[in-house]
Every structure is written in structure tokens, then in C-alpha cells.
Amino acid sequence: DTGVSQNPRHKITKRGQNVTFRCDPISEHNRLYWYRQTLGQGPEFLTYFQNEAQLEKSRLLSDRFSAERPKGSFSTLEIQRTEQGDSAMYLCASSLGDREGEQFFGPGTRLTVL
């Protein structure tokens, strides 16, 4: 068990560019979550998957954001036409469906939009 991994760890991009982040959950976990964390705040829920189905999306997830988990394993989070306000740490977590809330977090991807 190698834990939850996220790539890249850091991303610097210019405003208007598209970025994509990847999350590899713990292998037997069927639930996968994305959060956004800004300085001085706790993680804010963005979306979550059970297997390949996206079950809930936050209002924070504008139409510029899209997440996929095509085979129920790894997930990608894409941000189109990035804005400076998108600068944040993007966290991924996974859990077993029957232990709702007991989530295991990855180290995060820090996005800086110039």
C-alpha cells in the first residue's frame, strides 16, 4: 500500500491555460474525492466518485472544472482557462465506501496561476 499519490506536486501556469492533475487512490478504495484548499482555510469539497460514477459536485466546481475517473481507478481534474483565483492546493482523498468519511489524503498539487 503506497497511499494516495498526486501528480504533479507543483504546477505554475499562465492565466488562460488549461491544466490537468492526476490522483491515484489506494488500490482497494472505491471512493475518490477532490478538495481545494486555500491559504488559511480547511479543505473545501469539490466532487467525489464512487467507482467511475461522479456522485456529487460542489457549486465551487464551475463549468471550467471537470473531473473524471474513467475506470474507477485513477482520477483526473482539469481546469480550463485558468484564472488567478484558481491558485490553491488541490487535494485528493480516497476511502472505502463502507467507511464513509474515513478518508486518506494525498500530498496535494499546488497550483499557481500567474
Judged by the rule CB under 8 A, the positions of this chain that interact with another protein are 3-4, 33, 35, 40-45, 48, 56, 58, 91, 93, 100-108
Q: How far is the CB of 45 from another protein (least distance, A)?
A: 4
Q: How far is the CB of 37 from another protein (least distance, A)?
A: 8
* Residues 12, 16, 17, 19, CA torsion sign: positive
Q: Give CA–CA dist 75/93, Å, rounded.
A: 11
Q: Give CA–CA dist 34/32, Å, rounded.
A: 7
Q: How far is the CB of 22 from another protein (least distance, A)?
A: 15
